[in-house]
């Protein structure tokens, strides 16, 4: 993998998330891909990944994703990402005067992506969610 190929993959990842398109997200992965949403949660297979994306993004609005390539090594790419979106259902303890149109979820995370022929075979992410 080279940096350009990884940047292209990340751009498609951003586009799929921002457009809430589970099928487009699924097309980024191999049929037997592993998606490690957390260190303890592994989704296996493109169909499961598509379903996860459709469910997860269904109530997200005004999504903005920004990725930054940190580097590549062999078939793996390393990236940092920030994402913001609105999703009232994800606010554990709404702040005083809560207005779902003004409160966004912020994510900060990193990922390791293994590519095979421009598709991801293993995706590992670590992130933290901050409401407000």
* Tens of pLDDT, residues 78-116: 999 999 998 766 555 555 555 555 568 899 999 999 999
Each domain of the chain, given as residue ranges in start order, spans 3-131
CATH class belonging to 3-131: alpha beta
Q: Please give the model's pTM, rounded to 2 decimal places.
A: 0.87
17-to-47, 93, 97, 112 alpha-carbon distances in Å: 16, 25, 29, 17
Q: What percent of the chain has pLDDT over 90?
A: 72
- Contact between residue 101 and residue 129 where contact means Cβ atoms under 8 Å apart: no
């Amino acid at each position: 993998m080279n940096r350009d190929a990884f940047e292209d993959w990340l751009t498609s990842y951003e586009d799929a998330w921002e457009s809430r398109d589970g099928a487009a997200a699924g097309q980024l992965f191999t049929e037997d891909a592993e998606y490690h949403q957390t260190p303890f949660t592994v989704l296996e297979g493109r169909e499961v990944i598509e379903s996860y994306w459709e469910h997860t993004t269904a109530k997200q609005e005004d999504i903005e994703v920004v990725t930054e390539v940190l580097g590549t090594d062999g078939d793996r790419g390393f990236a940092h990402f920030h994402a913001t979106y609105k999703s009232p259902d994800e606010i554990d303890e709404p702040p005083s005067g809560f207005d779902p149109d003004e409160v966004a979820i912020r994510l900060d995370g990193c990922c390791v992506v293994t590519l095979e022929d421009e598709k991801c075979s293993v995706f590992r992410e670590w992130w933290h969610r901050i409401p407000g």
